[in-house]
A and B are shown apart, each in its own frame.
Chain A
Amino acid sequence: MPAFILKRLLQALPVLLIVITASFFMVRLAPGDPFSQERALPVEVMKGLRTYYKLDQPLVTQYIEYLKNIAQGDFGPSFKYSGRTVTEIIGAGLPVTFELGAYALLIALLVGISSGVIASLRPNTWQDYVPMSLAMIGICLPSYVLGPLLVLIVGIWLEWLPVSGWGYIPGDKILPSVTMGFVYAAYISRLARGGMLEILSQDFIRTARAKGVSESMIVLRHALRGGMQPVISFMGPALAGLLGGSFVVETIFQIPGLGRYYVQAAFNRDYTLILGMTIFFAVLIVVFNLLADIVAAWMNPRLRSGKSAGG
């Protein structure tokens, strides 16, 4: 297992390098620079700024310089938020985004797995159709539609919950978490149903039944572990998405997390901040996918022992 982890981490390095290189040059292709404003700055000031941030040097030199810096863990200063480094800004937004992601994940897992399992036990009945139709809606409905819709209905018409902020008023964390979690709950629900249906049709479930095991124990002890394999494989991308994909929800609900900084950085052409966050998210995705694979392997005895089934 340690060899497997090491192998995967080594494989991640070229992926990260490609991400860094592609985003470095793409950001520079965008017209304008961090200092272009509606009212142009005096030429000497611009020149001074560009020299200070070494933007006047050839692009390749800057690229190599940048690689050297991040190799030492230095993401550089933000161009827009003067006096703050990229690392500081990520550090400030991270806890908020993590908290939001954790709540959303919790909702997604609870709602998704339970509805999926229930649907799989009674296929092609209303207990199956209702959650699966909801899941279909959840998958089709983007969060920038669902968010405002929830704000309108629950926040403004019914006045049950606050519609923006994070930790200012009690209950203001509910709507953003639900908005974020719903799509993932929908995916997980469908995956859980599919996985369970697959496992429940296996011969060893019939064996369990023939042993006199009760239906509830068949689900809990015999089927759940195998049936959750697709859900676990999805957890990697899901976690990365929950943590890195919160731009929309954070913007809708005015939450001071990473996502909102990311969006603003893009508007501001804040080169170092965009790059820093992109790399950060890339690392997150790699790490979470690896974690998901490790958990999946651990849950599956066949993979755990590292032996493949001989043909």
Chain B
Amino acid sequence: MSLLHVEDLRVHFHTRNGIVKAVDGVSFDLEKGKTLGIVGESGSGKSVTCYSLLGLLPTPPARIESGSALFDGVDLLKVPEATLRTYRGNRIAIIFQDPMTSLNPFMTIGAQLIEPLRIHMGMSRRAATDRAMAALREVGITEPQRRMCCYPHEFSGGMRQRVMIAMGLATEPDILIADEPTTALDVTIEAQILELIRKLQESHGIAMIYISHDLGIVAGIADHVLVMQNGVVVERGAKAEIFHRPQHPYTRKLIDSIPRSAKPAGSTLAETQGGSDFLRIEEVRISYPVASESLFDLHQREYTAVDGVSLQLAKGEILGLVGESGSGKSTLARAIVRLVDLKAGRIRMEEILLSELSGQQLNDTRPEFQMIFQDPYASLNPRMTVQDCLAEALERRGRKDRKELQAEILALLADVELLPEHLRKYPHEFSGGQRQRIAIARALALKPKLMVADEPVSALDVTVQAQILKLLLELNRKYRMSMIFISHDLGVIRYIADRTAVLYQGKLVECGPTERIFNHPEHPYTQKLLSAVRTSRLLEGAE
């Protein structure tokens, strides 16, 4: 007898543009004490499936068309809202993806922790406080007494996720739903949180549904795995089975898209390994002023984001820049394209001293170095069509007649594998991957010698991610463009970079040929980073 039995669940969204079948006939069983992993890309319906069990979907537009979800003899989909509420946060708890936004910023950690205990278990304030502090201790938060009075913004992302877990587990639920609980976290923190979840699940004997886009993580933590695509379960089975012997083509595609191997041999363009100086970054230091806390504090405090980093880049080379949040990798990228000023040091591209340029000179040189940003949803102007966007970039290199301009635009589109009919459309009409192609085309339009890509694929699904990485490699080869590629994802870096630089707290800890870094990391931090990835994911060859 399974703990939760879901049968033929169908959830449709009734929007102005028609019906979206978000979940279309999903069935599964969850056994006591076991973990069910649900894998899928965005829009696959994996989160909607779980939210509908708890009545957390906005209705309208969502509507549960059919199905049943039997838990403890009760159909969760049919019971009235008031009854369902007694299950939520009590017998079925959920942890969400983004710990930065999932806690109420206006309430103390303590107030939020004792809330479910007071509601569901009728505890007195004092008893609930004691229980909450015990829960905090259990998730590894020290000094719980003091932390109870803190507000979420005083906690780091990893700490907040620990609080979310404590909140979920305090009521001793039967089922824990974890919706991408580590996606927003750094890899080393991710490894810790996964370990914590695994340990607590075991000691409490809780059944868990673990949702993720990352097949590696799911395969590492789950007993059974569902693979979802477009609202349908395309494959199900024991974890090792799915990972090593995938049956469905989509599952195979998902596995193949995980970037983990070195880039194809002979694809490297760098004329000289490491030594050449197309771009020289010398002893760069960047700091931000921090708000002083008192009026009489005359010393302007500073936060040093990048501290004495030196790097070289050869012509046509791809340099991977790895680091966790706060490592200064994005700040350095912004400084190279002169969006941020240096406090000390120099950046030289060929004969041009980039870090000293200003005014008109800087403006004239800008086409030489271009940037691709992380979020293709936010970095394109929503009121400009693709045509306008590309034409603006092209005309930056001098006015030209219509025909010539149009020909160049079409050539750019072909480069990034978009179609001519896309020209008249606006960014919102495209998917994330297509938007990133537009952003790449825009950067390419200026024929830059240097491309700085700041996490260009981290907002994309794995299959799309693989396409974009392939495209970037091809373009790098075609135009002999040097590239600085920033990512927190070690797999991505290994796939694309010729050389890799590892940043930690604003300092360069290690730099060398990518394969050397991955196979023989020298610095302890690099070793820690790599082992974190290995422990949290089931990778090929493991088990």
Residues on B with beta carbons closer than 8 Å to the beta carbon of A206: 56, 96, 102
Partner-contacting stretch, out of A15-23, A184-192, A208-216, A246-254: A208-216
* Measured CA separation A287–B23 after assembly (Å): 56
Partner-contacting stretch, out of A25-33, A99-107, A162-170, A303-311: A303-311
Residues on B with beta carbons closer than 8 Å to the beta carbon of A208: 104, 115
- Asked if A207 CB lies within 8 Å of chain B CBs, one says yes
Dominant SS at the A interface?
Answer: helix
Residues on A with beta carbons closer than 8 Å to the beta carbon of B288: 311
- Asked if B247 CB lies within 8 Å of chain A CBs, one says no
Partner-contacting stretch, out of B31-39, B253-261, B291-299: B291-299
**A4, A204, A211, A301 — which one has the most chain B CB atoms within 10 A of its CB?**
A211
- B294, A210: Cβ atoms under 8 Å? no
- A211, B89: Cβ atoms under 8 Å? yes
- Asked if A69 CB lies within 8 Å of chain B CBs, one says no
* Measured CA separation A168–B96 after assembly (Å): 62
B154: nearest chain-A partner, CB-CB: A305
- CB proximity to B under 8 Å, residues A26-52: none
- Asked if A80 CB lies within 8 Å of chain B CBs, one says no
- A212, B120: Cβ atoms under 8 Å? yes
* Measured CA separation A4–B288 after assembly (Å): 21
Number of contact residues on B: which range applies?
A: 35 or more
A7: nearest chain-B partner, CB-CB: B295
- A211, B88: Cβ atoms under 8 Å? yes
Residues on A with beta carbons closer than 8 Å to the beta carbon of B164: 207
A198 CB to nearest B CB, Å: 13
Contact with A along B465-482 (1 / 0, CB 8 A): 000000000000000000
B99: nearest chain-A partner, CB-CB: A203
Which of B88, B151, B295 is close to A212, meaning CB atoms less than 8 Å apart? B88
* Measured CA separation A211–B95 after assembly (Å): 10
- Asked if B86 CB lies within 8 Å of chain A CBs, one says yes
Contact with A along B321-338 (1 / 0, CB 8 A): 000001000000000000
- B106, A300: Cβ atoms under 8 Å? yes
A303: nearest chain-B partner, CB-CB: B153
- Asked if A64 CB lies within 8 Å of chain B CBs, one says no
- B101, A222: Cβ atoms under 8 Å? no
B388 CB to nearest A CB, Å: 31
* Measured CA separation A260–B108 after assembly (Å): 48
From known contacts A301-B151, A305-B154, infer whether A204 and B85 are also in contact, taking CB-CB under 8 Å: no
B93: nearest chain-A partner, CB-CB: A210
- A211, B105: Cβ atoms under 8 Å? no
Which of B54, B94, B108, B115 is close to A213, meaning CB atoms less than 8 Å apart? B115
Number of contact residues on A: which range applies?
A: 20 to 34
- A207, B103: Cβ atoms under 8 Å? yes
Residues on A with beta carbons closer than 8 Å to the beta carbon of B296: 3
From known contacts A203-B96, A207-B96, A209-B56, infer whether A3 and B102 are also in contact, taking CB-CB under 8 Å: no
Residues on B with beta carbons closer than 8 Å to the beta carbon of A306: 291, 293
- A204, B167: Cβ atoms under 8 Å? no
Residues on A with beta carbons closer than 8 Å to the beta carbon of B295: 3-4, 6-7
From known contacts A6-B295, A210-B93, A212-B119, infer whether A226 and B88 are also in contact, taking CB-CB under 8 Å: no
Residues on B with beta carbons closer than 8 Å to the beta carbon of A299: 106
A90 CB to nearest B CB, Å: 32
A10: nearest chain-B partner, CB-CB: B295
From known contacts A206-B96, A210-B93, A302-B153, infer whether A222 and B104 are also in contact, taking CB-CB under 8 Å: yes
From known contacts A204-B101, A300-B106, infer whether A210 and B293 are also in contact, taking CB-CB under 8 Å: no
Contact with B along A152-183 (1 / 0, CB 8 A): 00000000000000000000000000000000
* Measured CA separation A202–B101 after assembly (Å): 7
Which of B56, B90, B303 is close to A310, meaning CB atoms less than 8 Å apart? B303
* Measured CA separation A214–B88 after assembly (Å): 11
Which of A202, A207, A302, A308 is close to B291, meaning CB atoms less than 8 Å apart? A308
- B101, A203: Cβ atoms under 8 Å? yes
* Measured CA separation A301–B54 after assembly (Å): 31
* Measured CA separation A310–B107 after assembly (Å): 20
- Asked if B172 CB lies within 8 Å of chain A CBs, one says no
**A3, A212, A214, A221 — which one has the most chain B CB atoms within 10 A of its CB?**
A212
Residues on B with beta carbons closer than 8 Å to the beta carbon of A7: 295
- A212, B94: Cβ atoms under 8 Å? no
Tell me the A residues contacting B by CB distance below 8 Å.
3-4, 6-7, 202-204, 206-214, 221-222, 225-226, 299-302, 305-311
29 contacts between A and B (CB under 8 A): A3-B294, A204-B103, A206-B56, A207-B102, A210-B54, A210-B89, A211-B89, A211-B116, A211-B167, A212-B85, A212-B87, A212-B89, A212-B119, A212-B120, A213-B85, A213-B89, A213-B115, A214-B85, A222-B106, A222-B107, A299-B106, A301-B106, A302-B151, A302-B153, A305-B151, A306-B291, A307-B291, A307-B293, A310-B303
The 8 closest A-B pairs by CB, nearest first: A211-B89, A3-B295, A203-B101, A301-B151, A212-B89, A212-B88, A204-B104, A225-B106
Known: A203-B98, A213-B85, A307-B153. 17 other contacts (CB 8 A): A3-B296, A4-B295, A203-B102, A204-B103, A206-B56, A206-B102, A207-B102, A207-B104, A208-B115, A210-B56, A211-B116, A212-B89, A214-B85, A222-B106, A226-B105, A301-B151, A305-B153
